[in-house]
Protein backbone atom coordinates (compact mmCIF):
# COMPACT_ATOMS: atom_id res chain seq x y z
CA UNK A 1 0.00 0.00 0.00
CA UNK A 2 2.81 2.44 0.87
CA UNK A 3 4.53 1.60 -2.42
CA UNK A 4 1.39 2.53 -4.38
CA UNK A 5 1.12 5.85 -2.52
CA UNK A 6 4.79 6.63 -3.24
CA UNK A 7 4.36 5.74 -6.92
CA UNK A 8 1.20 7.89 -7.17
CA UNK A 9 3.00 10.76 -5.44
CA UNK A 10 5.89 10.51 -7.92
CA UNK A 11 3.48 10.39 -10.88
CA UNK A 12 1.58 13.39 -9.49
CA UNK A 13 4.84 15.33 -9.01
CA UNK A 14 5.91 14.58 -12.58
CA UNK A 15 2.48 15.57 -13.89
CA UNK A 16 2.56 18.89 -12.00
CA UNK A 17 6.09 19.52 -13.26
CA UNK A 18 5.05 18.90 -16.89
CA UNK A 19 2.01 21.14 -16.39
CA UNK A 20 4.39 23.83 -15.08
CA UNK A 21 6.54 23.51 -18.20
CA UNK A 22 3.48 23.77 -20.44
CA UNK A 23 2.20 26.86 -18.61
CA UNK A 24 5.60 28.54 -18.82
CA UNK A 25 5.83 27.85 -22.57
CA UNK A 26 2.36 29.32 -23.10
CA UNK A 27 3.22 32.35 -20.98
CA UNK A 28 6.45 33.04 -22.86
CA UNK A 29 4.75 32.58 -26.24
CA UNK A 30 2.01 35.00 -25.24
CA UNK A 31 4.64 37.53 -24.20
CA UNK A 32 6.40 37.51 -27.55
CA UNK A 33 3.08 37.63 -29.42
CA UNK A 34 2.06 40.63 -27.32
CA UNK A 35 5.43 42.24 -27.97
CA UNK A 36 4.84 41.77 -31.71
CA UNK A 37 1.43 43.40 -31.33
CA UNK A 38 3.24 46.49 -30.02
CA UNK A 39 5.48 46.50 -33.10
CA UNK A 40 2.40 46.12 -35.26
CA UNK A 41 0.80 49.20 -33.68
CA UNK A 42 3.88 51.33 -34.35
CA UNK A 43 4.43 50.03 -37.88
CA UNK A 44 0.77 50.67 -38.74
CA UNK A 45 1.19 54.19 -37.45
CA UNK A 46 4.29 54.58 -39.59
CA UNK A 47 2.49 53.20 -42.62
CA UNK A 48 -0.45 55.55 -42.01
CA UNK A 49 1.81 58.62 -41.76
CA UNK A 50 3.64 57.96 -45.01
CA UNK A 51 0.74 58.68 -47.40
CA UNK A 52 0.19 62.00 -45.58
CA UNK A 53 3.86 62.83 -45.96
CA UNK A 54 3.78 61.95 -49.66
CA UNK A 55 0.57 63.94 -50.21
CA UNK A 56 2.12 66.98 -48.54
CA UNK A 57 5.25 66.64 -50.65
CA UNK A 58 3.35 66.18 -53.94
CA UNK A 59 2.64 69.88 -54.35
CA UNK A 60 6.32 70.72 -54.08
CA UNK A 61 7.77 67.70 -55.86
CA UNK A 62 5.60 67.55 -58.96
CA UNK A 63 8.48 66.34 -61.16
CA UNK A 64 9.62 63.77 -58.55
CA UNK A 65 6.65 61.44 -59.06
CA UNK A 66 8.89 58.37 -59.42
CA UNK A 67 10.38 58.91 -55.95
CA UNK A 68 6.95 59.45 -54.42
CA UNK A 69 5.57 56.37 -56.18
CA UNK A 70 8.44 54.20 -54.93
CA UNK A 71 7.71 55.33 -51.36
CA UNK A 72 4.02 54.41 -51.72
CA UNK A 73 4.87 51.02 -53.29
CA UNK A 74 7.37 50.25 -50.52
CA UNK A 75 4.79 51.27 -47.92
CA UNK A 76 2.16 48.97 -49.46
CA UNK A 77 4.62 46.05 -49.54
CA UNK A 78 5.57 46.70 -45.90
CA UNK A 79 1.88 46.85 -44.92
CA UNK A 80 1.25 43.49 -46.59
CA UNK A 81 4.32 42.04 -44.85
CA UNK A 82 3.06 43.34 -41.51
CA UNK A 83 -0.33 41.71 -42.07
CA UNK A 84 1.31 38.37 -42.85
CA UNK A 85 3.64 38.60 -39.86
CA UNK A 86 0.78 39.55 -37.54
CA UNK A 87 -0.99 36.35 -38.55
CA UNK A 88 1.99 34.28 -37.38
CA UNK A 89 4.39 36.23 -35.13
CA UNK A 90 7.64 34.39 -34.68
CA UNK A 91 7.50 32.63 -38.06
CA UNK A 92 10.93 32.73 -39.67
CA UNK A 93 9.57 33.45 -43.16
CA UNK A 94 7.11 36.10 -41.98
CA UNK A 95 9.78 37.87 -39.92
CA UNK A 96 12.29 37.77 -42.80
CA UNK A 97 9.70 39.08 -45.28
CA UNK A 98 8.66 41.87 -42.91
CA UNK A 99 12.27 42.78 -42.19
CA UNK A 100 13.03 42.98 -45.91
CA UNK A 101 9.92 45.04 -46.66
CA UNK A 102 10.64 47.45 -43.81
CA UNK A 103 14.23 47.77 -44.99
CA UNK A 104 13.05 48.65 -48.49
CA UNK A 105 10.62 51.20 -47.04
CA UNK A 106 13.39 52.78 -44.98
CA UNK A 107 15.54 53.06 -48.12
CA UNK A 108 12.68 54.63 -50.09
CA UNK A 109 12.08 57.11 -47.27
CA UNK A 110 15.79 57.92 -47.27
CA UNK A 111 15.64 58.71 -50.99
CA UNK A 112 12.60 60.92 -50.36
CA UNK A 113 14.49 62.79 -47.63
CA UNK A 114 17.40 63.38 -50.02
CA UNK A 115 15.01 64.77 -52.66
CA UNK A 116 13.27 66.97 -50.08
CA UNK A 117 16.62 68.55 -49.15
CA UNK A 118 16.56 70.36 -52.49
CA UNK A 119 13.24 72.09 -51.67
CA UNK A 120 13.60 74.69 -48.89
CA UNK A 121 9.91 75.67 -49.10
CA UNK A 122 8.90 72.07 -48.52
CA UNK A 123 11.27 71.73 -45.58
CA UNK A 124 9.83 74.92 -44.07
CA UNK A 125 6.23 73.76 -44.46
CA UNK A 126 4.51 73.40 -41.07
CA UNK A 127 2.69 70.23 -42.21
CA UNK A 128 5.92 68.65 -43.42
CA UNK A 129 7.73 69.50 -40.21
CA UNK A 130 4.94 68.03 -38.09
CA UNK A 131 4.72 64.85 -40.19
CA UNK A 132 8.47 64.40 -40.16
CA UNK A 133 8.57 64.84 -36.39
CA UNK A 134 5.79 62.26 -35.93
CA UNK A 135 7.55 59.86 -38.27
CA UNK A 136 10.84 60.22 -36.38
CA UNK A 137 9.05 59.62 -33.09
CA UNK A 138 7.36 56.55 -34.54
CA UNK A 139 10.69 55.22 -35.83
CA UNK A 140 12.05 55.42 -32.28
CA UNK A 141 8.99 53.60 -30.92
CA UNK A 142 9.42 50.89 -33.55
CA UNK A 143 13.02 50.38 -32.45
CA UNK A 144 12.00 50.04 -28.79
CA UNK A 145 9.09 47.72 -29.62
CA UNK A 146 11.33 45.58 -31.82
CA UNK A 147 13.87 45.28 -29.02
CA UNK A 148 11.14 44.19 -26.61
CA UNK A 149 9.86 41.62 -29.11
CA UNK A 150 13.33 40.21 -29.73
CA UNK A 151 13.94 39.98 -25.98
CA UNK A 152 10.66 38.08 -25.50
CA UNK A 153 11.52 35.73 -28.39
CA UNK A 154 14.96 35.12 -26.90
CA UNK A 155 13.43 34.21 -23.50
CA UNK A 156 10.92 31.87 -25.17
CA UNK A 157 13.59 30.17 -27.30
CA UNK A 158 16.00 29.82 -24.38
CA UNK A 159 13.38 28.20 -22.18
CA UNK A 160 12.05 25.97 -24.99
CA UNK A 161 15.56 24.74 -25.83
CA UNK A 162 16.60 24.02 -22.25
CA UNK A 163 16.22 20.67 -20.55
CA UNK A 164 13.68 19.31 -19.56
CA UNK A 165 11.29 21.61 -21.52
CA UNK A 166 12.92 20.58 -24.81
CA UNK A 167 11.85 17.00 -24.11
CA UNK A 168 8.15 17.86 -23.87
CA UNK A 169 7.77 21.15 -25.80
CA UNK A 170 7.03 19.40 -29.11
CA UNK A 171 4.16 17.45 -27.54
CA UNK A 172 2.51 20.74 -26.59
CA UNK A 173 2.81 22.44 -29.99
CA UNK A 174 6.02 24.32 -29.21
CA UNK A 175 8.24 22.40 -31.60
CA UNK A 176 9.97 25.33 -33.29
CA UNK A 177 11.86 28.37 -32.15
CA UNK A 178 10.30 31.76 -32.73
CA UNK A 179 12.25 34.04 -35.07
CA UNK A 180 13.68 37.41 -34.23
CA UNK A 181 12.61 40.46 -36.21
CA UNK A 182 15.72 41.81 -37.88
CA UNK A 183 15.69 44.46 -40.54
CA UNK A 184 18.09 44.18 -43.46
CA UNK A 185 19.66 47.47 -42.51
CA UNK A 186 20.10 46.61 -38.81
CA UNK A 187 23.20 48.76 -38.40
CA UNK A 188 21.52 51.82 -39.91
CA UNK A 189 18.27 51.38 -38.02
CA UNK A 190 20.07 51.66 -34.69
CA UNK A 191 20.56 55.32 -35.50
CA UNK A 192 17.43 57.44 -35.35
CA UNK A 193 16.46 58.83 -38.74
CA UNK A 194 17.61 62.39 -39.33
CA UNK A 195 15.12 64.76 -40.83
CA UNK A 196 16.56 68.22 -41.13
CA UNK A 197 14.70 71.42 -41.81
Under-70 pLDDT residues of the chain:
62-63, 184-197
Q: Identify the pLDDT of residue 191.
A: 52
Q: Identify the pLDDT of residue 53.
A: 85
Q: Identify the pLDDT of residue 192.
A: 52
Q: Identify the pLDDT of residue 66.
A: 83
Tens digit of each residue's pLDDT (9 = 90 or more) over 13-36 = 999 999 999 999 999 999 999 999
Q: Identify the pLDDT of residue 136.
A: 85
In order, the DSSP letters of 94-160 are HHHHHHHHHHHHHHHHHHHHHHHHT-HHHHH-HHHHHHHHHHHHHHHHHHHHHHHHHHHHHHHHHHH
- H or E stretch including 182? none
Q: Identify the pLDDT of residue 197.
A: 44
Amino acid sequence: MLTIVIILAIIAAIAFYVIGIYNRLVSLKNRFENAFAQIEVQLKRRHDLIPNLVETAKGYLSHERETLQSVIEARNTASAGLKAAAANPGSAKAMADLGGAEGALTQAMGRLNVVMEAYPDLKASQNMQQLSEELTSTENKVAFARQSFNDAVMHYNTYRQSFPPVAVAGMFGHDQDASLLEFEDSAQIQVAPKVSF
